[in-house]
Structure 1
Amino acid sequence: MDWVFLILAGVFEMFGVLMINKVNKDRNVSSFLLLFAGFGLSFLFLSLAMKTLPMGTAYAVWTGIGASGGAILGMIFYGEPKNILRILFITMILGSAVGLKLIS
C-alpha cells in the first residue's frame, strides 16, 4: 500500500503544479483552493508512504513523478517543447524511480 500512497502523492504533486499555472492565469479563490488541495493531498500521501518506505527513496520517487509529470503535462496542455532530448531525460527520471522501486 505504501507504493500506492507514493504514486498518489506524485499524481497530486502533478495536479498542484498544474494549479500553479492556473493561479498565475486566474487569480481567484477556487484556483488557490485547488492549488492548496493538490499540494496538501500530495504531502498527506507522501507522509503515509514514508511510514514504511525509506525517506530517500520516497522523496526521490515523489519528486521524480512530480517533475517529470509536470513537464509532460506542460507539453500536453501548454505547448511546451517536445524535442527528443527532453523526452529522453524525462524517461531517465522515470526509469530512475522504477529502479528505486526495484531495489527497495
Structure 2
Amino acid sequence: MSWIYLMLAGIFEIGFATTLKLSNNFTKLWPSIIFIISITLSFYFLEKSIEKIPIGTAYAIWTGIGAVGTVFIGILFFKEPASVMRIFFLVTLVGSVIGLKLTA
C-alpha cells in the first residue's frame, strides 16, 4: 500500500505544480483552491508512504514523478519545448526512479 500512497503523492505533486502556474500568483480563485487541496493531499500521501519506504527513496521518487509529470504537462498544455536533450534527461530521470524502486 505504501507504493500506492507514493504514486498518489506524486500525482498530486503534478497537480499542485500545475495549478501553481494556473493560479497566476494566487490571483485566480479556483486554481488556488485546487493548489491547496493538491499540496495537502500530496504531503499527506507522502507521509503515509514513508511509514514503510525509506525517506530518501520515497522523496526521490516523489520528486521524480512530479518533475516528469509536470514537464509533460508543460509540453502538452503550455507549449514548453520538447527538445531531444530534454526528453533524454527525462528518460534518464525515469530510469533513476525505477532503479530506486527496484533497490528499495
Query: What TM-score bracket applies, with the shorter chain setting the length?
Result: over 0.9
Partner Cα distance (2:25, 2:73) in 1 = 16
**Backbone CA RMSD of aligned residues:** 1.3
What is the total number of aligned residue pairs between the two structures? 104
Equivalent position amino acid for 1:4 in 2: I
Q: Which residue of 1 aligns with 2:83?
A: 83
User: What is the distance in 1 between the residues matched to 2:91 and 2:36?
Assistant: 28
Structure 1 segment 83-102 matched on structure 2, within 5 A: 83-102=83-102
SS at match of 2:23: helix
- Residue in 2 that maps onto 1:15: 15
Structure 1: any 5+ residue segments left out of the alignment? Answer: none
Gaps of 5+ in 2: none
Q: Distance in 2 between matches of 1:55 and 1:12?
A: 18
Q: TM-score, normalising length from structure 1?
A: 0.95
Residue number in structure 2 paired with 1:69: 69
